[in-house]
Amino acid sequence: MRAVKKLLPNENIIYLGDAARLPYGNKSADTVIRYTLESSQFLTSQNIKILIIACHTASSVALPALTTLHSLPVVGMVDPCLPALNSKNGKIAILGTHATVSSQIYQNALKRLSPNTSVSAIACPLFVPLVEEGFIDSPITQESIRHYLLPVKEREIDTVLLACTHYPLLQNVIQDFLGAGCRLIDPALNCAESVKTILHSSGLINNQTEEGRSVFYTTDDPEKFQRLGATFLGKCIPFVEQVKL
Amino acid sequence: MRAVKKLLPNENIIYLGDAARLPYGNKSADTVIRYTLESSQFLTSQNIKILIIACHTASSVALPALTTLHSLPVVGMVDPCLPALNSKNGKIAILGTHATVSSQIYQNALKRLSPNTSVSAIACPLFVPLVEEGFIDSPITQESIRHYLLPVKEREIDTVLLACTHYPLLQNVIQDFLGAGCRLIDPALNCAESVKTILHSSGLINNQTEEGRSVFYTTDDPEKFQRLGATFLGKCIPFVEQVKL
């Protein structure tokens, strides 16, 4: 959302956070698909012109079901990332949730696109609760990074995709651990650029000059959403409405 | 469940784990109440004679709603623990989820029962994902224990209640950190004893001599439930059925 707002400041955005059922990343594909379809139906009922699945887990497992159900354009996190996944030494790591890693979506895509690249897909499930609890630069986070990412360092991987919405909040600590020679990719910008391209090519872009409005919905406590959402968005969220899915 | 099976080996048990919506502990009281009522309705529809809420978060916030909805006996985790909460030096700590700590249920009960006791209620939200991910004796867990429990050590608290179903799996590492002078209470036995007392006094106890049967339901992936459930139960779970709530 932050990247989309920056790149497309005139667009109106409706954001839904399914906080009552999070995290998606350690649940089964069937459950994630069901939750994502329910969430998407809430959004499409608001007369939107494009649906963005700003969650790697949901994008990894639910995109086919979403594009079958809806006729409007649907943008996930995975496809927009793929062009950025090039490595000088042919070694790439994908960091994601259990569900994203198990889906094999990145591993399969890279096998097709650059068959000589070695891909390490690493589930880092503790990163989500660490971010949610605000442990950004704590010894606990540093121990967790060492645990999950020591193999990345040892294999001298030079390109690492942060394939979960929460992980870019740990970007600095991860970069410190892996060193400056390793390129970290935050896929938010790639996703926002895909959205811009689709809106342009389909004539759906908003050419108004006034700043777009944002509306926020959550399925759990609005106050908690405001607090945590501000960390991600980098600014205050004045009003959040609770909905039941 | 492990404690109930041990104390009441002849009883038949129906177990439901709401894995598709866990964790409850960092969600709002309203959401936890809704989920708990839905889960309880699935169980009461199976013609049970007593309902055990084997979750501190749900017990802390949803018990009044449950006893209003159902006419059968309902046993939570909180009331059975209270008699065990006595401290030699008058200092007690309650370790639980955000929701359990915020509910103030233990703090208020102890204020009534032993007004001279000093109570420290500490939310330890990382403990649940650490246990779920199998980090029992890892440096990450040790750092987390230090982070949450250093105040317990510094205040020389002598009695600590593990007020979340996941925490007793960390009992040994917590005990190592706090030292042998600190008494840790795993409330499972207190809960099981309450169940036994209620069944006896209401004439509902099963006097058969054959071993009771257990049936397991989960709202998410049965295989994951089998794997993690075996850690808690201390033995293999042969079959789990998935249900939708």
The tens digit of pLDDT for each residue in A148-194 reads: 999 999 999 999 999 999 999 999 999 999 999 999 999 999 999 99
CATH numbers and ranges of domains, chain B? 2-77+189-242 (3.40.50.1860), 80-186 (3.40.50.1860)
Judge whether B145 is closer than 8 Å to chain A, CB to CB: no
Q: How far is CA A158 from CA A4, A56, A88, A99, in A?
A: 27, 21, 7, 24
Mean pLDDT for the stretch of residues A39-68: 97
Judge whether B224 is closer than 8 Å to chain A, CB to CB: yes
Mean pLDDT for the stretch of residues A11-37: 97
Judge whether A132 is closer than 8 Å to chain B, CB to CB: yes
Instruction: Pick left, alpha or beta for residue B156 (phi over 0 → left; psi -120 to 50 → alpha; otherwise beta).
Output: left
Backbone angles phi, psi at A101, to 5 degrees: -65, -45
Residue in A with minimal Cα distance to B131? A126
Cα A104 to the chain's mean position, in Å? 16
Cβ contact A98:A123 at 8 Å: yes
Residues of A in contact with B20 (CB under 8 A): 21, 27-28, 31
Find the catalytic residue in A81, A124, A164, A182: A164
Mean pLDDT for the stretch of residues A44-73: 97
Residue in B with minimal Cα distance to A127? B129
- What's the CA gap between A69 and A135, in Å, rounded? 38
Contact A27 B220 (CB under 8 A): yes
Judge whether B167 is closer than 8 Å to chain A, CB to CB: no
Residues contacting A104, CB < 8 A, separation 6+:
A121
- What's the CA gap between A36 and A183, in Å, rounded? 31
Q: What is the DSSP letter of B52?
A: E
Judge whether B21 is closer than 8 Å to chain A, CB to CB: yes
Q: What is the pLDDT of residue A201?
A: 97
Enter the tokens of residue A165: 């919405």
Judge whether A38 is closer than 8 Å to chain B, CB to CB: no
Selected for mutation to probe chain B from A22, A24, A27, A223 (highest B CB count within 10 Å) is A27
Residue-wise pLDDT for A6-23, tens only, equals 999 999 999 999 999 999
Residues contacting B170, CB < 8 A, separation 6+:
B127, B130, B131, B136, B141, B145
Judge whether B211 is closer than 8 Å to chain A, CB to CB: no
Contact B20 A31 (CB under 8 A): yes
Backbone angles phi, psi at A211, to 5 degrees: -65, 140
pTM of the model: 0.95
Stretch (H or E) spanning A13 = strand A13-17
Cβ contact A185:A94 at 8 Å: no
Q: How close does chain A come to B219, measured CA to CA in Å?
A: 9
Cβ contact B225:B216 at 8 Å: yes
Enter the tokens of residue B241: 């059925």
Given a cut of 90, is residue A208 above it in pLDDT? no
Enter the tokens of residue A67: 């594009």
- What's the CA gap between B96 and B128, in Å, rounded? 10
**B45, burial (CB in 10 Å: exposed 0-12, middle 13-18, buried 19+):** exposed
- Give the residue from A203, A196, A229 showing the smallest Cα distance to A214: A229
Report the residue from A126, A139, A220 with minimal CB separation from B129: A126
Residue in A with minimal Cα distance to B141? A140
Report the residue from A143, A144, A220 with minimal CB separation from B31: A220
Residue in B with minimal Cα distance to A32? B20
Cβ contact B195:B8 at 8 Å: yes
Find tokens 């569900």 and name the residue.
Answer: A99
Judge whether B98 is closer than 8 Å to chain A, CB to CB: no
The answer for A 1-20 residues in CB contact with B (under 8 A) is 19-20
The question of whether B124 is a catalytic residue gets the answer: no
The question of whether B55 is a catalytic residue gets the answer: yes
Number of A–B residue contacts, CB under 8 Å: 67
Q: What is the pLDDT of residue B102?
A: 97
Contact B126 A140 (CB under 8 A): yes
Contact B144 A147 (CB under 8 A): no
Contact B132 A26 (CB under 8 A): yes
Contact B220 A125 (CB under 8 A): no
- Residues of chain B short of pLDDT 50, as ranges, are none
Amino acid at A40: S
